[in-house]
Structure 1
Amino acid sequence: MSVRIHALDDSRAVAWDGFVRATHDATFFHLAPWARVIREAFGHPTYYAMAEQDGAVVGVLPLARMRTVLFGDSLSSTPYCVYGGPVAATPEAASALESHALDLQKKLGSPVLEYRRRDAVDEGWTGRPPLYFTFRKPIRITGDDAKDQAANIPRKQRAEVRKGIKAGLTSVSDSDTDRLHRVYAESVRNLGSPVFPRRYFRLLAKAFPGEHDVTTVLHEDKPVAAVLNFHFREEVLPYYGGGTKDARALSANDFMYWEVMRRAGAERGATLFDFGRSKADTGAFSYKKNWGFEPQELRYCYRLAPGARIPENNPNNPKYRYFIQAWKRLPLPVANILGPPLVRGLG
């Protein structure tokens, strides 16, 4: 039988996620609940397509359209996610999903179709110049704290973790996304970036009840750093995190990421730490290298309508330089009001 393409709906969600969890090339960001999160948090239409043959799922393609006045129009797999693109079990399914995506792009009139590939640019697609890199590394946690630190993180970072412990830092692991958001909002304002809405974090926690946690670092019972982690197969992915103005002096971020690594290995059996993506030549890029992670270029690729260009909606774009500097000076309550409408187009 030929491959048939179906839109994701509630009746197909279990089969969709079963395929994702069983397929090596699929990632946490291919899971079906992302579709609802993107729609409800940001109001973007989603077009999740599932390939079926002989009654079995043979491929999935998550797609969402971001269209805003300030940041343009793109059909992406997938916004707000590090990885995306189609995952297929057969060449026929891969071909059917690509044809579906190209037809959808034409039907919608979207000038940009984007696949957020981890490993390779699709044949016939336009790759972007190197910009985004991911950081992934195996970990092994045995329960012996000193030996585990020596085995998993470099000496300088171990010293920072010990500094945080001596400063009296402690951590808690729970699902308190509101407390996380308060810390995160201050952190991204200080970096000059608009903050995501609090509702987005709540929706993520609801969508992935057994596959997330929030690690919060406390100093004298006050939150100074926090991160939302995702758990997929044997991987842990610290995804949205930050620290207050006191975090750096306390080495709170180093302590936090060690606690994420330690807890994930000891409590969930994680064997791989995915530090997420960072842009080249940024502080976050250097920080992750200092943790012993080697950067791996992400192969984002595009199909562009005539006259369209690869989107450059990122802080490395010189035209945003003055905006970023001005945003850093905003009072936090003002930044928290203005940020969520802006960030809709910055997925």
Structure 2
Amino acid sequence: MSVSVRTLEAASEPAWDRFVTAMPAGTFFHLAAWAKVIEAAFGHETHYSFTERDGAITGVLPLARVKSLLFGDTLISSPFCVYGGPLTVDAESQAALIAHAERLLARSPSSALEFRYRDGGEPAPPGWTDRPDLYVTFRKPIEADHDRNMKAIPRKQRAMVRKAIQNGLTSIANQDVGTLHRIYAESVRNLGTPVFSRHYFRILMDTFADAADIVTVLDQQTPIATVMNFYFRDEVLPYYGGGSAAARSRAGNDFLYWETMRRAADRGCRLFDFGRSKIGTGSFAFKHNWGFDPAPLNYRFRLKPGHAMPDHNPLNPKYRTFIAAWKRLPLPLANLLGPSIVRGIG
């Protein structure tokens, strides 16, 4: 039987998530709940669709339209996520979902369609363009044994973790969105990046519940570094994190990711996903220093005639002045303005 394309509804969400979890290439960002998160946190229109054959799901496509006066209008799979794209069991389902997305693009005012594949996959179909040279991801197995995980960290980075331990740093794990947002907001402001709203972080914690937590590093009783983590199958994904100025001198950021790794191992996780970084950035160097090898991310675009590939990353020279000015904003003003800007980046 041929596949049919259907729109995701509440009744289909459990089957969608079972499919994603069973697929080796499935990711946390393919889960159905992201549609509600994107709608509730940002007000963006979502187009979550799946293919079905003889009553069984054969593919899923999480897709949303991100529209902004500053950054244009793009259909993305998946916005605010590092991985996405169609996830299918066969070529027919893949072709059906791609064709469905292309029809949505043709009917939409959007200028481009973007798939955020974690792996390169098959060669790009006609009319599509790959951009594999911007982002990488860092993923590495971990073990149940903390000593073995510690010894797997390269010597210089391991020394930083041990320095943090000698400094008497401790950690807690909870769902304290307030502390996370306060530290994260200052951290990204200092990088010249607009911050997400606290409301978005609250939605993430409420939506994913036991599949998410927040690990915070304490110096005495003072929080100095914190990260929101996602859990999927046997993987941990530290996702939104930052550290205060004090964290740098106390090795708080180093301790933060060690504690996340340690706690995740105790939880049964056997793969540490350090997430996406731009090539040539400090984040790239930090993750590489942990002994993680970068793997290229393949982001694929379908453009309407006359339109250029979206390029909203901070390394784009046209954002240099904006970034420099943002770093100088008072934190309360940056926190007020940031959410309305970042919602359009995706």
In structure 2, the residue matched to 1:123 is 125
Which structure 2 residues correspond to residues 231-246 of structure 1 after superposition, within 5 A?
A: 231-246=231-246
In structure 2, the residue matched to 1:343 is 342
Which structure 2 residues correspond to residues 296-335 of structure 1 after superposition, within 5 A?
A: 296-335=295-334
Amino acid aligned to 1:44: H
Deviation at 1:147, TM superposition (A): 4.0
Deviation at 1:166, TM superposition (A): 1.5
Amino acid aligned to 1:165: I
Which structure 2 residues correspond to residues 10-21 of structure 1 after superposition, within 5 A?
A: 10-21=10-21
Q: Which of structure 1's runs of 4+ aligned residues deviate more than 3 A?
A: 145-148
Which structure 2 residues correspond to residues 215-234 of structure 1 after superposition, within 5 A?
A: 215-234=215-234
Which structure 2 residues correspond to residues 158-169 of structure 1 after superposition, within 5 A?
A: 158-169=158-169
Distance 1:223 1:170 in 2: 10
In structure 1, the residue matched to 2:72 is 72
Distance 2:66 2:134 in 1: 20
Distance 2:130 2:2 in 1: 30
CA distance 1:133–1:147, shift in 2 (3 Å): closer
Deviation at 1:51, TM superposition (A): 0.8
In structure 2, the residue matched to 1:57 is 57
**Matched residue SS, 1:84:** coil
Which structure 2 residues correspond to residues 1-347 of structure 1 after superposition, within 5 A?
A: 1-120=1-120, 122-124=124-126, 125-128=128-131, 130-142=133-145, 145-150=146-151, 152-266=152-266, 268-347=267-346
CA deviations over 1:255-296 (Å, ceiling 9, x no partner): 010000111011x21111100000011000111111111111
Please tell me the root mean square deviation across aligned C-alpha atoms, in Å: 1.0
**Matched residue SS, 1:214:** strand
Amino acid aligned to 1:149: M
List gaps (5 residues or longer) in structure 2. none
Asked whether the 8 Å contact 2:132–2:299 carries over to 1, the reply is no
Asked whether the 8 Å contact 2:75–2:114 carries over to 1, the reply is yes
CA deviations over 1:198-223 (Å, ceiling 9, x no partner): 01111111111111110000112111
Deviation at 1:141, TM superposition (A): 2.7
TM-score, normalization: structure 1? 0.97
**Matched residue SS, 1:106:** helix
Deviation at 1:129, TM superposition (A): 5.2
CA deviations over 1:39-89 (Å, ceiling 9, x no partner): 111111000001111010111000000010000010000110011000111
CA deviations over 1:198-254 (Å, ceiling 9, x no partner): 011111111111111100001121110000000111111000000011110000010
Distance 1:242 1:17 in 2: 30
TM-score, normalization: structure 2? 0.97
Amino acid aligned to 1:199: H
Asked whether the 8 Å contact 1:128–1:310 carries over to 2, the reply is no
Asked whether the 8 Å contact 1:138–1:271 carries over to 2, the reply is yes
| Count of residues in Structure 1 that have an aligned counterpart in Structure 2 | 343
Deviation at 1:123, TM superposition (A): 2.8
Asked whether the 8 Å contact 1:71–1:345 carries over to 2, the reply is yes
Amino acid aligned to 1:40: A
